[in-house]
Amino acid sequence: ARYQANMEVIALAFLLPLLIFSFGSRLLGKLAERLDYRRSAGLAMLLGALAVGAMLLTDGIAPFVALWTVFSASLSVVNYALDSLYMQAIPAAGRGFSLGKYTLGSALAGVVGPLLGGFLFDYAGHLVPFMVFALGGLLLGLAMLAALGKGKEG
Q: What is the pLDDT of residue 150?
A: 61
Q: What is the pLDDT of residue 123?
A: 97
Q: What is the pLDDT of residue 153?
A: 45
| CA torsion angle 32 44 2 112 (round to 10) | 100
Radius of gyration of the chain (CA): 17
Show Cβ contacts of residue 42 under 8 Å, excluding neighbours closer than 6 positions.
141, 142, 144, 145, 148
Q: What residues of the chain score a pLDDT lower than 70? A: 1-3, 150-154
Q: What is the pLDDT of residue 154?
A: 41
User: What is the value of pTM for the model shown?
Assistant: 0.84
CB 46 within 8 A of CB 142: yes
Q: What is the pLDDT of residue 121?
A: 94
* DSSP letters spanning the chain: --S---HHHHHHHHHHHHHHHHHSHHHHHHHHHHH-HHHHHHHHHHHHHHHHHHHTT--SHHHHHHHHHHHHHHHHHHHHHHHHHHHHHS-STTHHHHHHHHHHHHHHHHHHHHHHHHHHHHHH-TTHHHHHHHHHHHHHHHHHHHHH-S----
CB 82 within 8 A of CB 70: no
